[in-house]
Amino acid sequence: ALNQYLAEIKGNVTVSFEFFPPRSSDMEQMFWQSIQRLSQLKPSFISVTYGANSGEHQNTYSLIKEINKRTGLVAVPHLTCINTSPWELHEIIQEYWHNGIRHIVALRGDLPPDNSSRQNITMYGLDLVVLLKKIGDFEISVAAYPEVHPEALSAQSDLINLKKKVDAGANRAITQFFFDVESYLRFRDRCLTVGIDIEIVPGIMPVFNFRQLQRFATMTNVKIPLWMNTMFDGLDLDIESSKLVGASIAIEMIKILSREGVKHFHFYTLNRDELTYTLCHIIGIRPEKITI
């Protein structure tokens, strides 16, 4: 059966990789090593996050330019609108458009940890999509939440929010990471019922540090199934075994998702290449062989 699966999937799927701006010189080294290795797999694009409230827009942009220069790949900036005035956003978007950036991951952005700006939200992801489309015919990816965004009033209102982003011109939705494959599949079905016809790309998080994952999951309302606790139990200090467990979980998810018709996977690399590289290898995404 594995043989058949590999034959089915080979050449049929594409991938993209997400990175975040490194914050120290050690992290910077790891960032570029990972970009270099993963770029050999010819992803459809590499995206770089933008810390809302961090003022690091220039940082994201210079990384985008450098990735494109070093790898020749399409590099896509994330852009958030919380805590940035529409005027500043206008400037940033125009700069992107004039410099040939044609694809943007458009987000509202995370609230600051103290939640102080919750009352002052003046722009949502939808408004950013509208603004982008006013300035240029960008390809736009937006965020989607199979397990519902933590601030959403209801699952239905969250779904309608996605529908509005699609109607405003979003070309693709990338999901928050998840481990309950059923929740993704149900969400994809629900998207169809409200007429969302763009690709709902699953965001895959290959786990190598379970404690860190638990923190991420709490912040984002993502369920960690009990069986995952069992699988990682006792491995807190055992990075090597944790990576192998993380890889086996992710490959199992990818197997089910590809059987369910998923054709593109977005990997949250956390700036590391190992797990993502191995997962891609298994599904037949490999560097081109150099023949002499």
Binding site for ligand FAD (CB under 6 A): 49-52, 78, 80, 105, 107-110, 124-125, 143, 149, 151-152, 157-158, 161, 174, 176, 203
Contact 56, 21 (CB under 8 A): yes
Q: How many angstroms separate the CA atoms of 180 and 283, rounded?
A: 20
What does DSSP say about strands 75-80 and 199-204: parallel, antiparallel, or unpaired? unpaired
Cα–Cα distance list, 101 to 21, 84, 257 (Å): 18, 20, 31
Amino acid at 269: T
Least distance from ligand FAD to the Cβ atom of residue 179, Å: 15
Comparison of 135 and 160: residue with beta carbon closer to ligand FAD: 160
Gyration radius from the chain CA atoms: 19
Compute the least distance from the CB of residue 281 to ligand FAD, in Å. 24
- Give the separation between CA 113 and CA 214, rounded to whole angstroms: 17
Q: How far is the CB of 215 from ligand FAD (least distance, A)?
A: 15
In 3D space, the residue among 123, 135, 46 whose CA is nearest the CA of residue 96 turns out to be: 135
In the complex with ligand FAD, the residue whose CB is nearer, 109 or 246, is 109
Q: Which is nearer to ligand FAD, 141 or 242 (CB)?
A: 141
In degrees to the nearest 10, what's the CA dihedral of 19, 24, 26, 31?
20
The residues facing 173 across adjacent strands are 142, 200
- For ligand FAD, the closer CB: 73 or 144: 144
Identify the sign of the CA torsion 5, 276, 55, 135.
negative
The residue count of the chain comes to 292
CB-wise, 34 or 141, nearer to ligand FAD?
A: 141
Give the shortest CB-242-to-ligand FAD separation in angstroms: 24
CB of 100 to ligand FAD, least distance (A): 20
Active-site positions? 18
